[in-house]
Each structure stands twice: as structure tokens, then as C-alpha cells.
Amino acid sequence: MQEYLQSNIKDIIQQFPGVGDLLEEHKIACVSCGVGTCLLQDIMEIHNLSQDQDQELMTHLSRILYPDREIEIPRIERKRKSTAWQYSPPIKKLVKEHSLIKRLLKLVPRLIDELAIHPKDAYPLVVGAIEFIRSFADRFHHAKEEDVLFKYFDGNAAIFQVMHQDHEKARSHVRALQRALQEKKDRTMGDHLEAYRDLLVEHIKKEDEVLYPWIDRNLNISQVGELFAQFAAIDREFGGIPRSQEAFIQELEKVFSK
């Protein structure tokens, strides 16, 4: 079993497709992950399964990897185990920022409908949404992650590559959305808004449920304090921008509540 624990998950899935299905059943999306350079052992650590889930998954895995014999299930040592996670103060800040981004994502289907029915009324709202995404979601929030948080870890690790890829894909959808707005291509605008929404819903879920809890398990107390101070400095640097962007979301919610 040890040899597989040290193997790349994509190679294992290619050799044993049943492993991919098994991970999907445990809501671990290695099959659809665009990077897939995690080792099997990393996956158990990153997803922080409970002791019972851990044992169950390992037992099923061993049956797929060694169908003709029973093997002893190895114990995987964890750095720090937490079943119910509670975010550290700096990570809480990021989760709070996600909740504002999620409020926009929730309104995207309404914005797409408005584009189809009353495009002229929808254009200023799309302009506002692009401004929100660029200034709050990207410059303020994603930059906090990329320029500060991720730098505490090995940027080549698969989990960070996935996050960077998502941020880049999000930026390219916003560029395409801006182009489509200039050319008044309503359908294309709708397509990119929808793609952005789908991407960010999944991205935020991965961060809130997998990446951030893993980060919290791997930061020591002094790093947590340092991180909090750096985030507070970024908050000061951005001044009233987050508040004005929140006001835009409130405005949008009001428009679509009618």
C-alpha cells in the first residue's frame, strides 16, 4: 500500500478507474481536477477525513488496488487533526469576503435573464458587476490570497496550482465579458457570466471546505498573527472600496427583489 500512497493520484486513477469513482463517492473531485499532481497520501491529509471515513476509504481502496489479497491498512499520520473546523481570525476574514462574492453569484441568473429581456437596463448592472469582480473579488480578495496567504506554502503544490488556475480562468471570463459588453453581444455576456458563476461557486467551496481548513492546520500561532496583521494592512490600503462594493451588491439585490 505504501507505494500507492506515494504515487500520483492521476496515475493511480488511470490504472484503476474504480479509484476515481470511489473518491467521487467521498466528494473528492480528483477525476475532474485539472492539475492532479497530488499524491494519494496528500489527498487523505488535505481533505481531513474523520478517522472512520479514513479507514473506510482505505479499506475500499485496498480492495481495488489488491483485488486478490487482503492487506494491512496503514495508518496515515496527520500533522494536526480537527474534525469540526473553526477558522483562525485571518481566514475568517477571507470567508467573510467570500460571503459577499456569493451574494453576487446568487444574482447572476437574474442578471442573465435581464440581459435577455431588457438588455439596455442590464448593461449598467453588468458594468457594476465587472467593477465589483475586478476591485473586490480580484484585486482585494484574490490578491490577498495570491500575494500573501499562498506565499506561506509551496506554490508548486497541486492544491495551490488549482487555485491559481481558477483565478486565471475567472480573470479571462471577466476580460471576455468586458469585450462582449463593448460589442453589445448579449448572449456572449450571458455565457461568460454563467461560466464565471459556475467556476466561482466551486472555487469558493473548495477554499472554504478544503484549502482553508488545511491551511489553518498547517500554520503556527505566530504565522496566524503575522497573517492577520498583513490582511489588516491590505484592508487599510483599500480604504472604502470594500464598503462601496458591498453597497453595490445591496443595490443589485434591491433591483432584483422587485
Residues near Fe ion, by CB under 5 A: 145, 207
The minimum distance between CB 94 and Fe ion, in angstroms, equals: 6
Q: Give the torsion through C-alpha atoms of 130, 134, 136, 142, to 10 deg.
A: 140
- Residues of the chain by 3-state class (helix, strand, coil), percent to 5: 75, 0, 25
Dihedral sign of CA atoms 116, 118, 119, 125 in order: negative
Separation between Cα atoms, residue 249 and residue 47, nearest integer Å? 32
The least distance separating Fe ion from the CB of residue 202, rounded to whole angstroms, comes to 11
Paired strand residues for 39: 8
C-beta of 114 vs 166, nearer to Fe ion: 166
Q: Choose between 5 and 201: whose C-beta lies nearer to Fe ion.
A: 201
Quote the least distance from Cβ 237 to Fe ion, whole Å: 18
| Smallest separation, CB 207 to Fe ion (Å) | 5
Contact 220, 228 (CB under 8 A): no
Long-range contacts of the stretch 181-187 (C-beta < 8 A, 24+): 181/123, 181/126, 181/127, 181/130, 184/119, 184/123, 186/115, 186/116, 186/119, 186/122
Nearest approach, Cβ of residue 203 and Fe ion (Å): 6
Nearer to Fe ion, 145 or 216 (CB): 145
Q: Could you tell me the smallest distance in angstroms from the CB atom of residue 191 to Fe ion?
A: 22
Strand partners, 145: none
47 or 122, CB closer to Fe ion?
47
Would you say 115 or 129 has its CB closer to Fe ion?
129
Cell readout for 208 is 472554504
| Secondary structure (DSSP) of 172-205 | HHHHHHHHHHHTT-HHHHHHHHHHHHHHHHHHHH
Least separation in angstroms between CB 98 and Fe ion: 6
State which residue, 141 or 192, has the beta carbon closest to Fe ion. 141
Nearest Cα to Cα of residue 246 among 113, 92, 140: 140
CB nearer Fe ion, residue 1 or residue 199: 199
Beta carbons of 164 and 146 less than 8 angstroms apart: yes
